[in-house]
Homo-oligomer: A and B are copies of this chain.
């Protein structure tokens, strides 16, 4: 919980967090800038968390050292985990050869196959499928409909969102002259601790060895991590990011939405890739990049601006050509007349 100085009705009750500008007489919002304060004051709201020394407007305010941090604490109070029955639901199909910690919870219609281990306080939600020999750590959440094929390890406190798929066959085929021969995919997937994998995202298993997702990696919805990819600790993937086979991403990398890496390329530690970047060769110098193929960010931004000026560039080019041609003609004519 957080503490602050109330300027308004100290008995007032608030029931939920509200975004600034949403009318909600029993909601609590926050404002750390003039713009958001105006937005928050423009509608009825139960209270506003503000910085120390900020005056009351239409609504009661709570003055705190950091409005953002206090609001995050209030959010944490209000966000409850998705409910799940205690113990193993009567309808869950759990193999006799699986080991489930007594404190773990297994929801309705979940399927847990042979050789699986589920650690303390983990939650396997309804319709989740945990395939043969998967090792799930402690305090892990596997949301409804998520599928772990087999030989997938998931570290402590990681979260796999609904309908995500971990461990499907890597995409490998060889054209033999008459048909696409499937390259067997015999590897596994290793997911670190404190990882979050978004809804409807896919992490394929390796051809041999492991596809590796480091600790504290955060993957948004609808991402694709192909076979034998390796992702370093603390790296963040926004929606629609695609990492092709055997590409490697370092630590603390940020990949903005729709960014794609070609197969086997490497992106080094601490690099940031802007929206829709396409990486076709290794990037090792720290910094931000953008574009397809990727360029250092400021250069790429100049390219984007210049690209949109291309029709103008063409006009100027034609003008130059006309003027130079006239000049050349003029320069030639006098000589002939001389």
Contact = CB atoms under 8 A, between A and B. Distances in A.
A183 B258 contact: no
Interface in A12-62: 16-19, 22, 24, 27, 29
A299 B303 CA distance: 17
B311 A303 contact: yes
A196 B91 CA distance: 31
16 contacts: A19-B207, A27-B208, A75-B207, A79-B184, A109-B111, A129-B144, A180-B216, A199-B204, A220-B224, A222-B224, A224-B239, A240-B240, A240-B260, A275-B278, A295-B308, A317-B317
Interface string A289-324: 001110100011011101111110110110011011
For A131, A200, A216, the residue with the greatest tally of chain B CB atoms inside 10 Å of its CB is A200
A238 interface: yes
A244 B274 CA distance: 13
Contact of A127 (B129, B234, B278, B307): B129
Given A19-B209, A239-B226, A311-B306, A147 B162 contact: yes
A184 B19 CA distance: 13
B234 A258 contact: no
B313 A317 contact: yes
A291 B317 contact: no
B78 A186 contact: yes
Copies of this chain present in the complex amount to: 3
A184 B76 contact: yes
A214 to B, nearest CB: 11
Contact of A165 (B18, B79, B163, B306): B163
Interface in A219-249: 220-222, 224, 226, 228, 234, 236, 238-240, 242, 244
B292 A304 contact: yes
A99 interface: no
Nearest to A95: B83
Contact of A16 (B125, B208, B226): B208
A87 interface: no
For A184, A185, A206, the residue with the greatest tally of chain B CB atoms inside 10 Å of its CB is A184
